[in-house]
Amino acid sequence: MDLTEIDSFDISADHLRKVVALTGAGISAESGVPTFRGEGGMWRQHRPEELATPQAFASNPQMVWEWYLYRRQIIAQSNPNAGHDALVELEKVLKDRFILITQNVDGLHRRAGHKNPIELHGNIFLNRCNSCSERYPDDTLDFDKLPPLCLNCQGQIRPDVVWFGEGLNHVTIEDAFLHSQQATLFLSIGTSAVVHPAAALPVVAKDSGALLVEINPDRTPITSLADAVFTDSSAQVLPDLVNKIKQIETKSKN
């Protein structure tokens, strides 16, 4: 696949009937939130794949919590970037013809002003009991002694995110697949496209007739499937791409 320039990128109003974007850790990289597979992914000699698992929590819940609190702190100190902002702009232009699906747990899409992103993997600032699933807001928990314990059942409280090897919420993932099947334009942004089932969404969209666009400085398993590939960072590409979409949308209305 040749690399695409925004100016020569060929899309029409027809492609804007339903636009779906899937974002991964890469869109937050320029906000200072490390990706799992890039530099800064390691923590105290541990790979994220060894920490973000039910097995790690079962054997060392305190260490897993310390890692999550460390990540929370980085996220709390960071802000949405031009990529997040451009997707908010896209929602304003296309309204309910735009669906945002994210694998990120950082909540930066919401903080940028996106109303209702489909958060496939949960949110790092939410907590639930590992035994009875009761949810706990932060201000009801004491993080001095880790892990915090459930008031109902004394079970261990964990971050309300989806770990490697765990299933996603059925309704959420079915929703994501349905939207991807209906997409006329699908944007795969800053995701290594290896974590399933999210990685299947661009493939499903392409198989169902969508124009598939990838924004990622590195090659991924879906690069060869994509109709257009932008290799600049998402904070650089998305504002230009959204401007282009806006122009097409305005023209089609006149």
Provide the annotated active-site residues.
121
Residues 40-99, interacting with ligand NAD (CB under 6 A): none
Q: Is 157 in the site for Zn ion (CB under 5 A)?
A: no
Q: Which of 233, 241, 242, 245 binds ligand NAD (CB under 6 A)?
A: 233
CA atoms of 161 and 144, how far apart (whole Å):
21
Q: Which of 52, 56, 124, 129 binds Zn ion (CB under 5 A)?
A: 129
Beta bridge partners of 128: 135, 158
Q: Is 81 annotated as a binding residue?
A: no
Name the amino acid, one letter, at 57: F
CA atoms of 92 and 79, how far apart (whole Å):
20
Tokens 């099947």: give the residue. Answer: 181
Taking the complex as a whole, the smallest distance from the CB of residue 8 to ligand NAD amounts, in Å, to 20
Which stretch in 104-112, 134-142, 146-154, 206-214 sits in contact with ligand NAD by CB under 6 A?
104-112
User: Residues 118, 136: contact at Cβ < 8 Å?
Assistant: no
Q: Is 30 in the site for ligand NAD (CB under 6 A)?
A: yes
Q: Which of 34, 54, 155, 239 binds Zn ion (CB under 5 A)?
A: 155
CA atoms of 29 and 33, how far apart (whole Å):
5
Residue 4: CB atoms within 10 A of its CB come to 19
| Continuous segment of H or E residues that includes residue 242 | helix 234-253
Structure tokens at 10: 């060929």
Q: Which of 109, 114, 121, 206 binds ligand NAD (CB under 6 A)?
A: 121
Select from 85, 52, 61, 69 the least CA-distant residue to 138: 69
Residues 152-211, interacting with ligand NAD (CB under 6 A): 190-192, 195
Residue 33: CB atoms within 10 A of its CB come to 22
Which stretch in 33-41, 137-145, 169-177, 246-254 sits in contact with ligand NAD by CB under 6 A?
33-41
Residue stretches of the annotated binding site for substrate: 68, 71
**Residue ranges in contact with ligand NAD by CB under 6 A:** 24-26, 28-30, 33, 35-38, 103-106, 121, 190-192, 195, 215-218, 220, 233-234
Which residues of the shown chain bind Zn ion in the complex (CB under 5 A)? Answer: 129, 131-132, 134, 150, 152-153, 155
